Structure 1
Amino acid sequence: MTDKTTAARVALVTGGSAGLGLALCRELAGRGWRVITDGRSEEKFKEADLPDAVTVVVGDLTDADHRQALVGEVSAYGRLDLLVHNASTLGPLPMRPLAEVDIADLQQVWRTNIGGPLVLTSALLPWLREANGVLLSISSDAAVHHYEGWGLYGASKAALDHVTLTYGAETGLRAYAVDPGDMRTAMHQDAFPGEDISDRPLPETVVPHLVALLDERPASGRYRAADLGGDVR
Structure 2
Amino acid sequence: MTNTALITGASRGLGLALARSLAADGWGLILTARDPYALDPVADELGALSVAGNVADPAHRERLARAALDRGGLDLLVNNASGLGAVPLPPLATYPVDTLEELLRVNVLAPLALIQATLRGLRERRGAIVNVSSDAAVEAYEGWGGYGATKAALERLSHVLAVEEPDVAVWWFDPGEMRTAMLADAVGPEEAAAAPTPETVVPTLRRLIAERPPSGRVKHR
TM bracket, shorter-chain basis: over 0.9
Partner amino acid, structure 2, of 1:127: G
Once residues 190 and 137 of structure 2 are traced to their aligned partners in structure 1, the CA distance between those partners, rounded to angstroms, is: 23
Local SS of the residue matching 2:45: coil
Q: Which amino acid aligns with 1:174?
A: A
Question: Distance in 2 between the 1:99 and 1:195 partners?
Answer: 28
Q: For residues 185 and 75 of structure 2, what CA distance do their matches in structure 1 show? A: 32
- 8 Å contact from structure 1 (residues 25, 54) kept in 2: no
Q: Which residue of 1 aligns with 2:65?
A: 71
Structure 2 runs not aligned, ≥5 long: none
Once the two structures are TM-superposed, the CA of residue 195 in structure 1 deviates from its matched residue by 3.2
Aligned counterpart for 1:216 among listed residues 208, 211, 215: 211
Q: Deviations over 1:27-69 (max 9, x none)?
A: 1111111011111111222454653431111100010110000
| 1:66-117 alpha-carbon deviations (Å, 9 max, x no partner) | 0000011001101200011100001122211111113201111100000100
Q: Which residue of 2 aligns with 1:35?
A: 29
Could you say which residue in structure 2 is the equivalent of 1:225?
220
Equivalent residues in 2 for 1:1-233, closer than 5 Å: 7-46=1-40, 48=42, 50-172=44-166, 173-226=168-221
C-alpha RMSD of matched pairs (Å)? 1.3
Contact 2:171–2:216 at 8 Å: present in 1 too? yes
Between Structure 1 and Structure 2, which shows a larger proportion of helix residues?
2
- 1:201 Cα shift? 0.6
Amino acid at match of 2:214: A
Q: Which of structure 1's runs of 4+ aligned residues deviate more than 3 A?
A: 46-50
Amino acid at match of 1:117: P
The answer to whether the 8 Å contact 2:31/2:43 transfers is no
Structure 1: 5+ residue stretches without partners: 1-6, 227-233
Distance across 2 between alignment mates of 1:214 and 1:52? 19
Indicate conservation of the 8 Å contact 2:136/2:148, yes or no: yes
**Displacement of 1:174 after TM fit?**
1.1
The TM-score, its normalising length taken from structure 1, stands at: 0.91
2: CA distance, partners of 1:56 / 1:169: 32
- Mean CA deviation greater in 140-149 or 43-52: 43-52
Matched to 2:37, the amino acid is E
- Aligned residue pairs: how many? 220
CA distance in 1 between partners of 2:163 and 2:47 (Å): 32
Q: Closer, same or farther in 2 for the Cα pair 1:46/1:81, shift >3 Å?
A: closer
CA deviation after TM superposition for structure 1 residue 197, in Å: 2.4
% identical aligned pairs = 44
